Amino acid sequence: MNTTTLRALACAALLAGCGQPVQISDVQATPSPDIVTVVTVSWTTDTASTGYVAYGPDGDLSLSTGLSASGTEHSVALVGLSPDTAYSYQVVVPGEEESLSKTEELTTELLPNWLPAMASDGAAQSGYYMAVPLLSSGGDPVPAILSASGEFLWYYQEESALEMYRVRLSVDGQSVLYNLSDVSLEPTEEAMLVRRSLDGQEVEEISVPGLAHDFIEMDDGTIGAIAVDLRDGVRGDQIIEIAPDGSQQSVWSAFDCFDPAEVEGDLYGLGWTFSNALDYLPDEDAYLVGMYGFGSIVKIDRATGSCDWVVGETAATMTPDPAFARQHQFELLDDGGLLVFDNAGGGINGRIVEYDLDPGAGTATERWSYSADVSAIVLGDVHRFDDGETLVTWSYAGQLDHLDAQGERQSQINLDVGNVFGFNTIMDTLYR
């Protein structure tokens, strides 16, 4: 966010007083005790105002946070700092007469040695960020935010025996959301969504019994999440919505659209539908749900709960050619195409496949695919950038491939052996 925009937002929020300089005092920088890449800057003003922090390494002040809330006591978190690096920072109160604190200095510490190492190969990437769980066979799950080149920008050591599949930066930019659940065998009543402050010090645990792999947060703060729906011994799935006030309700169930007596599922004994991926289309107010047990992806009208179309192997209204199988994450493209992380349809190593969807004709025709010589047993994610480039998360292999618009690999990031990625959420900013 540039300084002109911040100045305009600050003046609009205050509606008056933008012509008078504001006195800034008590500027302090407090490093997080848990996350060396996060520092909270606080300050006081003599009149109600908003403000932000301009900062950067070695005297550079070209980076900036979002605006603080209007008032006289302010704090904002500097997020995404590099470890073991000296930074300069300055509080800025926008107005017709801009108010500035003096420039201060801080130095971040080294990353903890328990974080896994990452090796990169190829052209370094930039311009986006990745919120992703890091999972290991013997350790606790770690929610993390990485730079495009694989640098740790945020992390937390979550002491839990439960599994973590998705990490998201909250829509207001003030916290990190992630899930803790266990759906591989029996769903657990202890499953929850966790909202942790950027400095790691404040935590809210939202109980969602039977919580599954994926969730989303809408612009108004409503959270939609997949959860198990068990009826008469049949394990289906539902979408639970958690409102900003904390109330929960089921807004859709697989039983609303499919009858287990007529539609078979239960792939490998994991459950009838065993849904494992969720997306939301705000322009259409529709959900997309990936059902591993069906080998299908379904589009759901959020208002009515009706299933508009199904592409895949079971209950399909569109049949993919060639088929995908045991799929995980996917992405509906702006041109109506569909990207799918196909764990088994392309062979033992899996692949990414892009389809041209034609609901009228009932077809899904392949128009591009990509594979690598890595294992794709579980999880996996794919994202298409606006410029046509693609990011592939080979979760089980602990590998990220950034492809150019022609499908050629530009760079690769690999986790230490024994560590894997969860689902990968791509962001263009750390401040909202």
Q: In the predicted model, what is the mean pLDDT of residues 416-424?
A: 94
**Dihedral sign, Cα of residue 310, residue 313, residue 318, residue 323:** positive
Rounded to whole angstroms, how far apart are CA atoms 259 and 240? 20
309-363: pLDDT as tens digits = 999 999 999 999 999 999 999 999 999 999 999 998 766 688 999 999 999 999 9
The pLDDT value recorded for residue 14 is 46
CA 51, distance to chain mean position in Å, is 27
User: Please, what is the average pLDDT of the chain?
Assistant: 92
247-289: pLDDT as tens digits = 999 999 999 999 999 999 988 888 999 999 999 999 999 999 9
Pairing of strands 363-370, 319-321: parallel
Rounded to whole angstroms, how far apart are CA atoms 237 and 17? 54
Distances (CA, A) of 186 to 191, 329, 361: 11, 22, 39
Choose which CATH entry (2.130.10.10, 1.20.120.140, 3.30.70.890, 1.10.760.10) describes domain 118-427: 2.130.10.10
pTM of the shown model: 0.92
Distances (CA, A) of 3 to 8, 86, 90: 9, 23, 13
Fold of 3-107: Immunoglobulin-like (2.60.40)
Domain ranges of the chain: 3-107, 118-427
The answer to whether 229 touches 258, Cβ cutoff 8 Å, is no
CA 147, distance to chain mean position in Å, is 13
Q: In the predicted model, what is the mean pLDDT of residues 98-118?
A: 95
The answer to whether 354 touches 396, Cβ cutoff 8 Å, is no
**Dihedral sign, Cα of residue 296, residue 297, residue 299, residue 304:** positive
Task: Give the pLDDT band of residue 37 (cuts 50, 70, 90).
Answer: very high
Distances (CA, A) of 375 to 246, 378, 379: 40, 9, 11
Contacts of 128 (CB under 8 A, 6+ apart): 148, 385, 426, 427, 428
Write down how long the chain is: 432
Contacts of 287 (CB under 8 A, 6+ apart): 224, 239, 252, 278, 279, 280, 281, 299, 300, 302
Q: In the predicted model, what is the mean pLDDT of residues 160-170?
A: 94
- Burial per residue of 293-316, b for 16 or more beta-carbon CB atoms within 10 angstroms, e otherwise: bbbbbbbbebeeeebebbbbbbbb
Task: Give the pLDDT band of residue 234 (cuts 50, 70, 90).
Answer: very high
Is 43 a residue whose pLDDT tops 90? yes
Beta strands in 329-430 (DSSP E): 330-332, 337-342, 351-358, 363-370, 381-384, 390-394, 399-403, 409-415, 419-421, 425-427
365-408: pLDDT as tens digits = 999 999 998 889 889 999 999 999 999 999 999 999 999 999 99
The pLDDT value recorded for residue 103 is 96
Task: Single out the residue of 167, 181, 261 nearest to residue 227, CA to CA.
Answer: 181
Q: In the predicted model, what is the mean pLDDT of residues 79-93?
A: 95
Extract the tokens encoding 282. 């705000």
6-20: pLDDT as tens digits = 555 545 444 434 557
Extract the tokens encoding 62. 């070209």
Say if 3-107 and 118-427 have the same CATH topology.
no
